[in-house]
Amino acid sequence: MQDPTTQSDNDLGRVEVKTTTCYMCACRCGIRVTLRDGQIRHIEGNPNHPHNQGVICAKGSSGIMKQYSPARITKPLLRRQGAERGTSEFEEISWEQAFEMISERLARIRAEDPKKFALFTGRDQMQALTGLFAKQFGTPNYAAHGGFCSVNMAAGMIYTIGGSFWEFGGPDLERAKLFVMIGTAEDHDSNPLKIHISKFKRRGGRFISINPIRSGYSAIADEWVPIKPGTDGALILAINHELINQGLFDREFLIQYSNAAELVVDDPRRDDHGLFSRFEMHVEEGCFDPENKLWWDRDLDKEISTHTPGTEPRLLGSFRLEDGTKVKPAFQLLKDRLEEYTPEWAEGITGIPAATIRRLAHEMGVTARDQKIELPIQWTDSWENEHESITGNPVAFHAMRGIAAHSNGFQSIRALSILMTLLGTIDRPGGFRHKAPFPRPIPPCPKPPNSPDAVKPNTPLDGMPLGWPAKPEDLFVDEQGEAVRLDKAFSWEYPLSVHGLMHNAITNAWRGDPYSIDTMLLFMANMAWNSSMNTEQIRHMLTDKDEQGEYKIPFLIVCDAFQSETVAFADLVLPDTTYLERYDALSMLDRPISEFEGPVDSVRIPVVPPTGQCKPFQEVLVELGSRLKLPAFINEKGERKYRDYPDFITNYETSPGSGIGFLAGWRGKGGEKFLKGEPNPRQWEMYQKNDCYYHYKLPKSYQYMRNWNKGYLHWARNHGMIRYAEPITIHLYSEVLQKFRLAAQGKGKGRQPPERLRKRIEMHFDPLPFYSEPLLSRLVDTHEYPLNALTQRPMAMYHSWDSQNAWLRQIHTHNYLFVNPILAHAKGIDDGDWIWVESPTGKVRCMCRYSEAVEPGTVWTWNAIGKAAGAWGLAPNANESQKGFLLNHLIPEELPPCESGEHLSNSDPVTGQAAWFDVRVKIYKAGADEPALTLPQFSVMKPLPGQKVRRGRWQAFFAGQLGKKPGRKKGSKV
């Protein structure tokens, strides 16, 4: 064997090195891909990339096994004539046949009733294109996966502070001294968080994790605080209670930058009860918060205009305006609300001792108050006050799905945003910081359509398919107040469902409520498995037929790169490429990868050619848009406007001459402009030269306090990132929510909810955060089903929408249900026993694993390890289908019938966020005679035509020799 020091790896073949952007999860790290003889040798983190700074995760390094996976779909496929849907019987067709079939069908739907076409995508980082396609087509029935992921986090925070965690903002761990993570949040986003938590810990920062389970990042927390699922809101409200009662809040910050001191009408007889008292002023129409509100002046003891120079308002008290109106500062209302939420009260709900809750509040409050950061950066606020420095209170938070995926998540997240505001940590060093294009107005400007008239044959949709309602008039309902969208988003059932409700699309289409559709196009969404709740029934709905023998969902198109469970249910399968085979724009119009210091966007550029006949979904949309002659895809003469997707990205502008397109970098004819500028024909090339990303670093004085930073807001307006350079005041008190509540109370002349929903709206659209038990717990017998059941993904599979990967599946081949031994002993269950987990929706047989790292009222499992037999290119006897299981079978997608409706989604009543983590279960030992096999089982999915099923005992991957017969010598290739 040759001495390893006498040769270089580069000598083993023809070497090329290319950069692109990873897509093994939603994180989007910069990668450097080394090819040997055209095959992928090595994928590593790109050291020059701002996002991941050279590191890479377990998934990223396993991209090779994804590229060469036997689960790849390589040809367009049509369900074989006579074969039943779901049996995975297909025949190959050509792309031309596929395009003809789709465009003929879609053209007919578009000419008759465009809403009969529904487009739902599992990924929401290409919404700029998919949303554009839906709007141009004219259908409102479009959403990505946000509704069943973390929309509560986005909505709860954006409706409060004008920004949210992950792509739009995050914890500033470089300067924080105390970091509090609530619930599972590891996957948004993973590598940057890992980098920063590690540095934070090494600097001596204190890390507290509040979570029912100690896994993931909680493992290295300095303190783990176990909590009962769904009670985060109670904990946070009690912390807020303690902070206010101790005076541990940043008074100056609250007065200047939030609506805490603003006077709210306090007279339940009036129609404007609970709205801000506003004085007459000419206000230009726009989606900003006009500065026509009042403070109560301390010295003059009377009302004054907010931000009057040299004045100081009251935060507490009850006052009467000159015209006799009774008012209270918003902060007084908040204090009144928090009165009952004592730490002792929260102890009984959360399971956390009151003394611990008090101590947590004190640690946060004292750290924020006594360890102030001061940076010598001058800046000017929106009221022309010049500041000599930027200051910050170094307490940072992070939370995502753990707190969001409950039906009370929106209000819990409002409470968290208010906690962060009380501590004075918004867009300040050491606290929460925004990422471009945020902060945006509360709520942001785009609105959904507000009447059924927005949907017209052969016409683009009048409005955005997804938007940000600010008042009942923005809801997308008909004259009866009922939903226009298939998923009932933006109806009174889920008024602020800003990411839609993809999780109810199939059930609603199957039931024909609110109407039946014709064609559903699913992209990268495994709705027949781990992306649906109540999976077994969803699979049934996909094959169910009406009295005429026709499928209730007549035509299903699935675009995916892999043989997922959903593919079996398709009528037409479109083979997508992998991320290594395609162009992609991760756009500022969508959810870019910006840093705290300024906007960043990025691209993918193919490093290998497409496999078989795979075609990127982006190309499919551009092709279909052109064939259907959707206005954005054709020129004045009605001819095809864009050659292909890269050409579209280069030349598309949001409106003719707007200068705003998908990519922000190197705009202008020669690439001399950024964010705004005419199309640059060499833009792709310039991205490629810069390692596939563009990063604009803001001047330091524009990097903080951006909600109220005059310089930043004007810069952002001038570069087309926001429409108004008005201050974005924090909504400690939410007037937006109060407007919906007033409507439910029958006040005013505007739209009002249907009778059945009045109480629900009145309760949940509370302008101040409150705690309520999750909906499902209120509607099921919690004595019969006493346990909470949770899922989370392991780090090697975060957001990775496939686990057929030969290397990653060896890390997690099947999952267990983790049970605290205290609970297991009480049920006579041993470690490793086969057990049943049962909810009112269904039951699953699986294996028990003891864990001391879970609170005893909770059981949990790694999600999406379990697979249907035969799917994902795996052998039918693979562990994933025999021992692995899917907890989703137990989670209802709808609530049991209640006074608010027969078929309400199991979701947050404000946002429609899927309440995955509300499910209640019981566990018991499986019978001694039962086989060691997980249930439910489904008929084995057959391999697809064009799928290269590899059944050999061995796979010895060696780049450059794949598909060749190597002369193997003792395991060494050299």
Residues 21-60 that bind other proteins (CB under 8 A): 36, 41-45, 47, 52, 54-60
Q: Nearest distance from residue 973's CB to other proteins, in Å? A: 6
Position 940 contacts other proteins (CB under 8 A):
no
CB nearer other proteins, residue 187 or residue 623: 187
Q: Nearest distance from residue 416's CB to other proteins, in Å? A: 21
82, 202, 384, 929: which one binds other proteins (CB under 8 A):
202
91, 355, 955, 964: which one binds other proteins (CB under 8 A):
955
Question: Rounded distance, CA 449 to CA 141, Å?
Answer: 12
Position 802 contacts other proteins (CB under 8 A):
no
- Contact window for other proteins (CB under 8 A) among 131-139, 385-393, 475-483, 804-812: 804-812
Residues of span 257-316 touching other proteins by CB under 8 A: 298, 312, 314-316
- Contact window for other proteins (CB under 8 A) among 92-100, 210-218, 635-643, 702-710: 210-218
CB nearer other proteins, residue 298 or residue 759: 298
782, with CB counted inside 10 A (0-12, 13-18, 19+), is middle
Name every residue whose Cβ is closer than 8 Å to that of residue 698 and which is 6 or more positions away in sequence: 597, 598, 712, 715
820, 861, 905, 947: which one binds other proteins (CB under 8 A):
820
Question: Rounded distance, CA 586 to CA 603, Å?
Answer: 6
Position 942 contacts other proteins (CB under 8 A):
no
380, with CB counted inside 10 A (0-12, 13-18, 19+), is middle
- Contact window for other proteins (CB under 8 A) among 487-495, 634-642, 807-815, 905-913: 807-815
Residues of span 2-21 touching other proteins by CB under 8 A: 2, 4-5, 7-10
Query: Could you give the angle at the alpha carbon of 496 between the alpha carbons of 490 and 501, nearest 5°?
Result: 65
CB nearer other proteins, residue 227 or residue 603: 227
Q: Nearest distance from residue 855's CB to other proteins, in Å? A: 7
The rounded Cα 594 to chain-centroid distance in angstroms is 16
Question: Rounded distance, CA 249 to CA 752, Å?
Answer: 38
Q: Is-contact 62 808, C-beta < 8 A?
A: yes
95, 101, 273, 317: which one binds other proteins (CB under 8 A):
317
The neighbouring-strand residues paired with 40 are 35
Position 944 contacts other proteins (CB under 8 A):
no
Position 804 contacts other proteins (CB under 8 A):
yes
Question: Rounded distance, CA 706 to CA 730, Å?
Answer: 12
CB nearer other proteins, residue 329 or residue 441: 329
CA proximity to 78, closest of 59, 62, 99, 104: 99
Q: Nearest distance from residue 767's CB to other proteins, in Å? A: 21
CB nearer other proteins, residue 187 or residue 474: 187
140, 183, 205, 441: which one binds other proteins (CB under 8 A):
205
Position 877 contacts other proteins (CB under 8 A):
yes
Residues of span 348-387 touching other proteins by CB under 8 A: 359, 362-363, 366-367, 369-370
- Contact window for other proteins (CB under 8 A) among 287-295, 537-545, 626-634, 954-962: 954-962
Position 882 contacts other proteins (CB under 8 A):
yes
Based on its alpha-carbon atoms, the radius of gyration of the chain, rounded to whole angstroms, reads: 28
Name every residue whose Cβ is closer than 8 Å to that of residue 484 and which is 6 or more positions away in sequence: 115, 140, 449, 451, 452, 454, 455, 476, 477, 478, 491, 514
CB nearer other proteins, residue 104 or residue 339: 339
Question: Rounded distance, CA 307 to CA 259, Å?
Answer: 11
Position 338 contacts other proteins (CB under 8 A):
no
Local structure of 907: helix, strand or coil: strand
Position 963 contacts other proteins (CB under 8 A):
no
Question: Rounded distance, CA 744 to CA 742, Å?
Answer: 5
Question: Rounded distance, CA 774 to CA 790, Å?
Answer: 14
The CA-based dihedral angle spanning residues 569, 136, 470, 406, taken in that order and rounded to the nearest 10 degrees: 10
Residues of span 470-489 touching other proteins by CB under 8 A: none
Question: Rounded distance, CA 584 to CA 616, Å?
Answer: 9
Position 136 contacts other proteins (CB under 8 A):
no
Residues of span 518-577 touching other proteins by CB under 8 A: none
Q: How many CA atoms lie within 13 A of 933 on its CB side?
A: 12
796, 817, 848, 890: which one binds other proteins (CB under 8 A):
796
Residues of span 140-199 touching other proteins by CB under 8 A: 178, 186, 190-191, 194-195, 197-198
CA proximity to 215, closest of 402, 364, 26, 416: 402
Position 967 contacts other proteins (CB under 8 A):
no
Q: Nearest distance from residue 956's CB to other proteins, in Å? A: 4
Q: Nearest distance from residue 940's CB to other proteins, in Å? A: 14
CB nearer other proteins, residue 194 or residue 758: 194
Position 928 contacts other proteins (CB under 8 A):
no
Which stretches within 274-395 are classed as H helix?
330-338, 343-350, 354-370
Tokens, residue 100: 């003809």
Tokens, residue 739: 């407007």
CB nearer other proteins, residue 250 or residue 576: 250
175, 809, 867, 922: which one binds other proteins (CB under 8 A):
809
Tokens 């947590």 locate to 360
CB nearer other proteins, residue 803 or residue 839: 803
In 690-728, which positions are buried (b, 16+ CB within 10 angstroms) versus exposed (e)?
bbbbbbbebeebbbbbbbbbbbbbebbeebbbbebbbbb
Residues of span 213-252 touching other proteins by CB under 8 A: 214-220, 222, 224, 226, 245-251
